[in-house]
Amino acid sequence: MTFIEKLRCLLTFGQGVALPLPEIKPNQSPFDLFQQWFEEANKSGILLPEAMSVSSVAQNGQPSSRMVLLKSFNEEGFVFYTNYGSRKHSELQQNDKVALLFHWNILQRQVRIEGTIEKLSVKQSEQYFHSRDRGSQIGAWASKQSQKLSYDDELKDRVSHYEEKFAGHEVPLPNFWGGLNVKPHYIEFWQGRASRLHDRICFEKQDQCWQQFKLHP
């Protein structure tokens, strides 16, 4: 990269291109690479680097996306928590194909993940639910996520109802709330570079093995 290109990148929100590109070994694990990028995103000062878009597709073919928070990941997948009565989960129950997207702007990095969804066990969901603050636990009971409010104060009234109901007790895990694991079969790492000559390093799971290849930007 020339000095002028570097300067342009640094001054135009393109700090990422001045970073060295990751060294990709032939047997590179996409999960190790994700871990490395996730740590770098955490260190970069980006607000909520764990925020990711989740896309589902309704039965009529209409896709929809929304942000959620990644709560854990390992070779088994990427986990977030939600209401099982929500639009996203209803759609994912009908069609378990799902896409995740991370964008770490200051690093000029994007990670695209495609896979299928599965529910976490009640035990796993319970463990996470009880690690949350009480207000969020009551909130999970009170919110009929994705349903229309019947009247303006409905949510406030429902919060009061559940605060009263569980006063002095541990708030139990609602049976309509818990974790979803995205089991990936495709993970793509995108690194912004000067002159739009970006790097795209892709991993695709075939016969239980991860194959890697690069794509034109």
Ligand X SMILES: Cc1cc2nc3c(=O)[nH]c(=O)nc-3n(C[C@H](O)[C@H](O)[C@H](O)COP(=O)(O)O)c2cc1C
Binding site for ligand X (CB under 6 A): 48, 51, 64, 66-69, 80-83, 86-88, 145-146
CB of 94 to ligand X, least distance (A): 13
Interatomic CA distance for residues 89 and 87, integer angstroms: 6
CB of 52 to ligand X, least distance (A): 9
> What phi and psi values does residue 4 have, to the nearest 5 degrees?
-60, -40
**Of 49 and 184, which has the nearer Cβ to ligand X?**
49
Interatomic CA distance for residues 32 and 22, integer angstroms: 11
| Active-site choice (87, 109, 196, 200) | 196
**Of 80 and 189, which has the nearer Cβ to ligand X?**
80
**Of 15 and 145, which has the nearer Cβ to ligand X?**
145
CB of 67 to ligand X, least distance (A): 4
**Of 64 and 195, which has the nearer Cβ to ligand X?**
64
Residue 196 is among the residues annotated as catalytic for this protein: yes
CB of 140 to ligand X, least distance (A): 9
Interatomic CA distance for residues 180 and 71, integer angstroms: 10
Interatomic CA distance for residues 18 and 10, integer angstroms: 7
Single-letter amino acid code for the residue at 159: V
Contacts of 177 (CB under 8 A, 6+ apart): 81, 82, 83, 84, 125, 129, 140
Residues identified as active-site = 196
